[in-house]
Chains A and B, each alone.
Chain A
Amino acid sequence: MSASISSLVKHPLVFRGRDHRHSADGNEVRLPFGQANLDKACAGGVPAAGAISIRALAGQGELQLLNNVLLQKAGTQKRILWLPNRLHLNPNWLSQTPYQQQSWVVNTTNEADALWACEQAIRSQACCCVVMYLAQIEPKAARRLQVLARQYDCLVVLVHPGNMGPGALPVNIDMALSFDARQWFVHLHRVSGAWPQQHIAIEHPLPASNSAIVNAFRHYSNNPATAIHEVS
């Protein structure tokens, strides 16, 4: 029995993930999103080493959702590599983030170069995190990045803007972000250490709103003592 399993495991087409990064109590180190429902569904958060995939439309706030994870990875003081792949990252936005000093933005003209740069960044051990935007990625390429990222203790974030195709990628977490009426949801297609789940409700506030002004007007306009102008 063990001999047959052994021969199966040695087959070149069989991928066997190796447990690599563990905390002192033997559990894999995970970085929480800061969203209670999502962290619970992900068995504590994002594994600190490996690849994750996010499918979201442009502007759905995928970086805002990942902000807590990126902040924790930035604590290692290693580089964060951005591979926007033909998109234009706003330098003013990045300069206002806490990990500005650690960030390198690498401009590539095609997806093959982006994948190559990502792999080099992982292998160099100079980067704690690589954020790469790709329209699509082959499962084979995703698995390659997953294995490398686990081996070299790096977090690879693959963002697929507009790609809502079926089928889970062989990465630690494969998730999709969606908006329905007034509620944001995360759909987990694949999670290492937990079962996939759909429709996980999350808080996903806007980066800015006029609500403070609107609320102030509502509050003070109804109070005759503080009302200066009549608000209809």
Chain B
Amino acid sequence: MHWLYLHFPRLQLDLFEQLHPEQTGPTVVIDGTNNTVCQLSAAAISAGIKPGMGLAEVTAIHAQTWIIEYSANSESSQLEHLATTLYAIASDIVCVASNGIAINLSPLVRYYQGLDNFMALCERTLTALRVHFQFGSGVTIEIARVLARSCVNRVEAEPDLANNHLKNCSLQATELPIKEIEQLNRIGIRTLGQLIALPLEEIGKRFNNQIITYLLAIKGVKQPPYSLFHPRKLFSQYLELPYAVESAPRLSRYISVVLTNNCAYLQKRNLATDTLQFELQQREHENLEFVVNAGAAHHHLSEWQMLIDLKLEQLKLDSPVTSLTLTCDQLVEFDPENLSLLQSTYSRHAENMLLGKLLARLGSDSVKTVEQVNEHRQDYAVQQTCALHNAPVNSEANGQQPAWLMVQPQPLTEQTQILYGPERVQTGWWDDHPVKRDYFLAVTGKGQRLWVYRDDQQHWYVHGYFG
């Protein structure tokens, strides 16, 4: 086996720099468990800030330092996204901890006709994702991991050559617990070469089995078992916001990051969707969920972004949002319509775009097609207008119908002249809403054509207007 290990030392900071490219001042990520710096930007290094410094020390060195709290969830989500992207160029991938990816190089050497070809492609892919990374290689994941954390940044054609680099690596680059590293330092063992030179029997007398297992992996004797990464069959990404956002439209720039990943995911798999589900984690209230619908399934970033922006304009937040999740699980195979070159006046695409905009801003039930309602009681017909995409061809005529209906019939109060009728409607005796009415067309002195009826109590009502 020959493994490549990619170590991402500042994933959360990389994401922050993508979200806020305008932020050029010192930025650090603070580990909340011990309030020390765990990731820092180039500007922070220039300012004299070092990893492991406390929060007070950081602010004393540079008062304007931008501080972000470390989030393991955010890094895990980003690592999964990286692994999903790398899955397009490599098959055997293992996600290690929250900031490392191991790739089995053995099958790739033959596929890419050389390691250099694959490494060039891998580096280009990761550079495009704008993440900082270090790498190393070895016969086990543990060897490659130590070399990557030591910034070797070399892939040896022969895995055994990596052992030369490994001997010079510090114990700090290993996964040994701090307590054991201090113990070894006290007896003068500071590099991995010194540790490997010790007989395992002697180490076994002083340290537990986990250390022995780890050392066996470091020596390349036995690789501990790892489960291979398999991308999800649906897209879901979590994003921790650098600070709480109070206004919904300001979420747009953060949503665009996960949306870009979503559209890339769909395009690579020739998939499309007409529904995106968002979940906003609010600081002081329950999670806010909303759905954005498009007129037709597609995977175009700019069009989705426009629909989401329209939706965000209408959205009211109960309290500031700290993180968000985009889920896309209603996937269909992308089937673009073949449009005629000469038919420039009409496009189904334009129609779908319009529909998507209307649904996004006015609500998912705002646009209706029309269908003849199989109901003589027009009071119910108003509420039974069919939903979109379900309009069959109209059937038989249903008497003289006005264009406009009143939701609640109003008593007829003005003087009218009856010019047509009656049309008797007597129905609903089988349910709890029996109706017995005589409908007429009546005209007022101003020429208004009213649809009026007389009920069985001989009361007169206006039910609609002829448009």
Please list the residues of chain A having a beta carbon within 8 angstroms of any beta carbon in chain B: 57-64, 76-79, 84, 87-96, 100-101, 103-108, 113, 116-117, 120-121, 124-127, 178-179, 184, 206-210
Taking the nearest CB of chain A, how far is it from the CB of B292, in angstroms? 16
Max chain A Cβ within 10 angstroms of own Cβ: one of B368, B381, B450, B466: B466
18 A-B residue pairs with CB within 8 Å = A58-B448, A59-B448, A61-B449, A61-B467, A76-B345, A88-B406, A92-B378, A95-B371, A101-B391, A105-B369, A108-B366, A126-B353, A126-B354, A206-B419, A206-B441, A206-B449, A210-B419, A210-B421
Is B403's beta carbon under 8 Å from chain A? Answer: yes
> In the complex, given contacts A59-B465, A184-B447, what are 6 additional A-B residue pairs having Cβ atoms less than 8 angstroms apart?
A58-B404, A92-B372, A92-B381, A93-B402, A105-B368, A106-B368
A227 to B361, CA, bound (A): 65
Residues of B within 8 A of A208 (CB): 400, 420, 441
Residues of A within 8 A of B345 (CB): 76, 78
Judge whether B362 and A113 touch: CB under 8 Å: yes
Is B346's beta carbon under 8 Å from chain A? Answer: yes
Judge whether B394 and A209 touch: CB under 8 Å: no
Which residues of chain B (403-420) have a CB below 8 Å from chain A? 403-407, 419-420
Q: Which of B367, B384, B419, B449 contacts A104 (CB 8 A)?
A: B367
Q: Which of A87, A100, A106, A179 contacts B358 (CB 8 A)?
A: A106
- Map CB proximity to A onto B443-467 as digits: 1 under 8 Å, 0 otherwise: 1101111100000000000001111
Judge whether B420 and A89 touch: CB under 8 Å: no
A77 to B343, CA, bound (A): 12
Judge whether B367 and A105 touch: CB under 8 Å: yes
Q: Which of B367, B371, B397, B404 contacts A106 (CB 8 A)?
A: B367
- Map CB proximity to A onto B297-328 as digits: 1 under 8 Å, 0 otherwise: 00000000000000000000000000000000
Residues of A within 8 A of B401 (CB): 90, 92-93, 96
Taking the nearest CB of chain B, how far is it from the CB of A211, in angstroms? 8
Judge whether B351 and A126 touch: CB under 8 Å: yes
Taking the nearest CB of chain B, how far is it from the CB of A20, in angstroms? 14
Residues A87 and B404 in contact in the complex (CB < 8 Å), given A106-B362, A124-B353: yes
**Interface size for chain B: under 10, 10 to 19, 20 to 34, or 35 or more residues?**
35 or more
Judge whether A125 and B368 touch: CB under 8 Å: no
Residues of A within 8 A of B407 (CB): 88
Residues of B within 8 A of A87 (CB): 404
Q: Which of A76, A92, A105 contacts B398 (CB 8 A)?
A: A92
Residues of B within 8 A of A178 (CB): 447
Residues of B within 8 A of A103 (CB): 369-370
Q: Which of A116, A120, A126, A207 contacts B400 (CB 8 A)?
A: A207
A101 to B368, CA, bound (A): 11
Judge whether B449 and A126 touch: CB under 8 Å: no
Judge whether B358 and A120 touch: CB under 8 Å: yes
Judge whether A63 and B366 touch: CB under 8 Å: no
Taking the nearest CB of chain B, how far is it from the CB of A125, in angstroms? 5
Residues of A within 8 A of B465 (CB): 58-59
A59 to B462, CA, bound (A): 11
Residues of B within 8 A of A207 (CB): 400, 441, 449, 466
Q: Across chains A and B, which 8 residue pairs bring their CB atoms closest together, nearest first?
A: A179-B447, A59-B465, A124-B354, A59-B448, A63-B467, A95-B372, A126-B351, A126-B350
Residues of A within 8 A of B450 (CB): 59
A61 to B385, CA, bound (A): 23
> Which A-chain residue is minimally distant from B357 (CB atoms)?
A120
Judge whether B394 and A121 touch: CB under 8 Å: no
Max chain B Cβ within 10 angstroms of own Cβ: one of A59, A116, A126: A59
Judge whether A90 and B402 touch: CB under 8 Å: yes
Which residues of chain B (377-400) have a CB below 8 Å from chain A? 378, 381-382, 384-386, 391, 393-394, 397-398, 400
- Map CB proximity to A onto B352-364 as digits: 1 under 8 Å, 0 otherwise: 0111011001100
Residues of B within 8 A of A95 (CB): 370-372, 394
Taking the nearest CB of chain B, how far is it from the CB of A231, in angstroms? 19
Judge whether A96 and B441 touch: CB under 8 Å: no
Judge whether A125 and B404 touch: CB under 8 Å: no
> Which A-chain residue is minimally distant from B442 (CB atoms)?
A59
Residues A59 and B449 in contact in the complex (CB < 8 Å), given A78-B346, A106-B362, A210-B419: yes
Is B213's beta carbon under 8 Å from chain A? Answer: no
Judge whether B368 and A104 touch: CB under 8 Å: yes
Residues of A within 8 A of B404 (CB): 58-59, 84, 87-90
Judge whether B466 and A59 touch: CB under 8 Å: yes
Residues of A within 8 A of B400 (CB): 207-208
Judge whether A120 and B368 touch: CB under 8 Å: no
A116 to B385, CA, bound (A): 23
Judge whether A113 and B420 touch: CB under 8 Å: no
Judge whether B358 and A117 touch: CB under 8 Å: yes
Residues of B within 8 A of A91 (CB): 370-373, 381, 384-386
A116 to B362, CA, bound (A): 10
Is B117's beta carbon under 8 Å from chain A? Answer: no
Judge whether A60 and B394 touch: CB under 8 Å: no
Q: Which of B367, B386, B420, B446 contacts A209 (CB 8 A)?
A: B420
A71 to B313, CA, bound (A): 37
Judge whether A62 and B467 touch: CB under 8 Å: yes
Judge whether B467 and A116 touch: CB under 8 Å: no
Q: Which of A90, A116, A209 contacts B403 (CB 8 A)?
A: A90
> Which B-chain residue is minimally distant from A62 (CB atoms)?
B467
Residues A210 and B420 in contact in the complex (CB < 8 Å), given A60-B447, A113-B361, A121-B354: yes
Which residues of chain B (132-166) have a CB below 8 Å from chain A? none
Residues A77 and B373 in contact in the complex (CB < 8 Å), given A59-B467, A108-B362, A116-B361: no
A110 to B176, CA, bound (A): 66
